[in-house]
Every structure is written in C-alpha cells, then in structure tokens.
Structure 1
Amino acid sequence: MRKITFLVLAALVGFMPGASAQKKKSVAANGEVVIYFARHGKTILNTMDRVQGWADTPLTPAGVEVAEYLGEGLQSENIQFKAAYSSDLGRARQTARIVLDNKGQANLPITEVAQLRETNFGSYEGDLNGKMWGDAALYLHYKSAQELFADMEQKPELLKSAIASFKALETLGIGEDYDQVKARGQKAIREIAAKEAANGGGNILIVGHGMSIGVFLSDIDSNGKKPSANHMGNAAVCKVIYKDGKFSLESFGDMSYVEKGKSTRTNK
C-alpha cells in the first residue's frame, strides 16, 4: 500500500561453518519453536494502492519474484521448516508455496488458517487507500489523512482508533476492529505454537499480511517488547521464539532474507 502501508505499520508498532550450525538452525532444542512470520508478496491491489483486507488479488510478477528471493534467502541461511502455515487468502497461500518451492521444500504441505487473515475493512475493500484514510481522518477530527499520519507517528496508539473508525464508517457491517483482529490472530498463533512445541519444536513458517501481523505481534512478547516502527515490506520477516508457553519477539520487518536471496541469484 506504499506510503499508507508504511504509516500504518509505523503506527504499530550465509555462511555455513559446519554441521553443528546446520543442526542448530534446522532443529530447535527442548521443544523451542522458532516462528518466521512473512508478509505476502506484492499484489495487484497493492500496486494500485487500493484497500486489500479480505478482498484478494494474486501476486504480480514483482510479487512472485520477491517471494522467490525470500525462499532462496532462507535456503542460503540453511533454515529448514518442520511445518508451514498461511492465511486462507490466495496471496498468502501463493507466497508460501513459492517460498517453499524456492528453498528446496516443495513437498512440505501448507496448512491454511482463516484466523491469520488481514483485517476486514468491510465496504472499503477495493477502494482507494486515500479514500478510507481520508474518511477516518475526518471522523477523528483531523483535517486530512496526512495530519492523522503525522500524529500517529508520535502516538502509535492512534492506530486502534483509526481501525475503529473504519469499522464505524463502512456500510456492510462486517468490518473488524483492532481487538477483534488481535484476538483471532493471537489465538491461532498460540494454538500453532503449542502444537509444534508438543511435536518437538523447530522452525515454522507462517505467511500472512502486513497490518494484521503487526497487530498480532503488538503485545505478544512476554517481556513487553514491541514491534519496531519500521516499514514491513512485501516478503519481510518477523522472527518470534516460543518456549515454555512464552513468546519472544526477535525481529520485525526484516528484509535481509530477501536481499540475500536476490544476491544469491545475481551471483549464480
């Protein structure tokens, strides 16, 4: 969603030395689960700067390419997944399959989880981002979306009010608020983490969506660590560790895997 996506997310907040390092990255000890959350690749609606929550469009050629880079970057780091999940929206499912195919795990199945979807924006789905955010700004007594964004940079908690305004203003009666998105997503994440821990732990891939991943991870860290205010680009990764029933947020919006994959392909 270009600049708007950046501001929304801002409000929210290979080298292989030997077999021992390979084992460490591919199999976690003592049931520890290492979750790699990835945002989907760029889509048609992303490119058109239109609202894309539960509405869905396929990846563009650039979106396919960045997902390929992510897969190759993960492979260059020798990260092997024991399980893979995605939201049930096509762009997430498509991205997950491309990532796995390009990191040498084409046979790993993907489990679709509806609760990992993006926020539902109701009647704003498919509309211009500028229209939705402009309406929200006026509803919240700002002169413009730009004024709202500027305030959100200083007061990240305003995102909750902004999403509430989308729900209040959309006309289909199906929009979600911040707490609804967080509750469904965190429930799914806890269930996935507990299941994979019981299966011995290891590395897990979850492919989802820019805004909702930020909401899911907003307060999941047991020590109170918040997601950074960095832009979460297409195919960016957030790393979370789950151990003994607690989550630890290790990184947010990391594009280094994509860059490594791009570099690996360029140097072939």
Structure 2
Amino acid sequence: MAKYQIYLVRHGRTWFNKYNKMQGWSDTPLAPEGVEVAKKAAHALKDINFAAAFSSDARRAIDTCKLIVDENINHANITPQKLMEFREEFYGYYEGMNSPEAWYMVGQPHGAATFAEIIAKYGMDATKDFMKEADPFHDAENAEEYWTRVNKGFEKLDEIAKDGDKILLVSHGTTIRSITDRYNDGNFDVTVSPRNSSLTMMTRDNGQNTVTSYNQMLD
C-alpha cells in the first residue's frame, strides 16, 4: 500500500449553511458567497500537483471540487470523481431542521444543550449514536454505520493512490470533524467546526490515517 497526502477541503457555504440548518444528505446549492470562498480556495491550491480529485456525491461538494480542479496546474489530467462514501453524516428525521434546535433535542436527554457540548462531554461518535437514538424513525446513522461507510471510501482511495500522490477530497463539516477527531491524537479542537472551503491535511500511510492540520483558511 502507498503513502500519500489527502487535501481534505470542506465545500463552500450553502444556503442551508447560511440559515444554520441541518444539511446531511440533504443538499442546497452554493450561495454566492460560497462560490467566492471556493474560488479563493481554488486559487490557493492552484499550484498543488494533484494526482486525482474526489468529492462526495452532494452537489455542494461536486461544485466546489470542480472550481478547485478548473484552476489547478494539472487540470488537464484530472477528472473529478464522486465517492458517496464521503457524504456528510445522515441526520435522518432531523434533516433540514434548525441546527441548534436539533442538537438540543438530541443532547438534552444526556445533559448537553449544544453540539459542541455533546462533543466535549462524550466525543464525536456519541453525537451520532445519540442522534440515531433520538430519531423517532431511527434512520440517522450511528457511529458504526457511519464509519463502515467512510472506511470503504478510504479503501477506494487506496486502490488508485500511488506513493507520494497528492489527492484532493472535497467533503463536509461533520465528516471532516469526525475524521480529525479519530485520527489527530488530540491535537486539534473539534468542538470548533471546519469553516467552509477550509483545508484539513491528512497523510495515509499503508492504510493508517494521520491528520496533520485542521481548519486552515485558504485565501
């Protein structure tokens, strides 16, 4: 297996981001300011010689990925590809709901009033388990379901990556937080959300992930 770098970028700001709504498998387009911040990320990353580019299959991630690839020095040799495995967490019943209200409903039975408070008290995986528990339909992903999916995505990257490759991966806020929480050895504060079009850097070495930076703004 190879050792390679993953440039993990959050998509640009969307309308649901602007309105602070739960946006897991739901999808809204990039807002005008989201396009602009994605263009800034594209400019900042234009000289990185990406070997490949991937996004989740959500339109907000696909569009952000295309903006970055179009400006890249290697754009003629890159065809962005979709990997559904790197979708955002599925929030089930809570999709589209006001975010603070949803996380209060999920956390309140456990003595936590906010998403950040649940993370601080119980960890990222607990936010997923608590959400599935609170979902009256139990459709939301729990931690086991979520990581089974995401790990399949990393395995797909391993199939194409070569030693020394730099790979662009455009994904989502909670997914980037979750990956950082699991693989950062406590160096980064994941109670703080990655900003839209921010960069998180990972090294994947023989199937082992290490997050080396988190939530860097690109401008």
Question: Is TM-score (shorter-chain normalized) higher than 0.5?
Answer: yes
Out of 68, 80, 102, which is 1:110 matched to? 80
TM-score, normalised relative to structure 1? 0.73
1:12 corresponds in structure 2 to none
1:214 corresponds in structure 2 to 177
1:193 corresponds in structure 2 to 158
Deviations along 1:51-100, one digit per CA (max 9) or x if unpaired, are: 0000000100111111100010012xx21111011101111101100111
1:181 corresponds in structure 2 to 146
CA 1:250 to 1:36, structure 2 compared with 1: closer, same or farther past 3 Å?
Answer: same
1:141 corresponds in structure 2 to 111
TM-score, normalised relative to structure 2? 0.88
Structure 2 unaligned spans of 5+: none
CA 1:105 to 1:58, structure 2 compared with 1: closer, same or farther past 3 Å?
Answer: farther
Out of 194, 208, 218, which is 1:246 matched to? 208
Q: What are the equivalent positions in structure 2 for 1:1-268 lying under 5 Å apart?
A: 31-75=2-46, 78-107=47-76, 108-142=78-112, 145-146=113-114, 149-150=116-117, 152-153=119-120, 155=121, 157-197=122-162, 200-220=163-183, 225-226=185-186, 228-229=188-189, 230-255=192-217, 258-259=218-219
- Confirm or deny: 8 A CA contact 1:43 1:60 kept in the other structure: yes
- Confirm or deny: 8 A CA contact 2:21 2:99 kept in the other structure: yes
Deviation at 1:104?
Answer: 4.3
Structure 1 unaligned spans of 5+: 1-29, 260-268
- Confirm or deny: 8 A CA contact 1:121 1:176 kept in the other structure: yes
Residue 218 of structure 1 aligns to which amino acid in structure 2? D
Deviation at 1:179?
Answer: 2.7
Query: Which structure has the larger Rg over C-alpha atoms?
Result: 1
CA distance in 1, matches of 2:173, 2:86: 11
Deviations along 1:92-145, one digit per CA (max 9) or x if unpaired, are: 101100111133444421111111100100111111012211111222134xx2
Deviation at 1:41?
Answer: 0.5
CA 1:244 to 1:121, structure 2 compared with 1: closer, same or farther past 3 Å?
Answer: closer
Question: C-alpha root-mean-square deviation of aligned residues, in Å?
Answer: 2.2
Instruction: Report the more deviating stretch, 123-132 or 44-53.
Output: 123-132
Report how many aligned residue pairs link the two structures.
216
**Identity score, percent:** 26
- Confirm or deny: 8 A CA contact 2:53 2:80 kept in the other structure: yes
Deviation at 1:219?
Answer: 2.8
Deviations along 1:218-237, one digit per CA (max 9) or x if unpaired, are: 3346xxx2461154100111
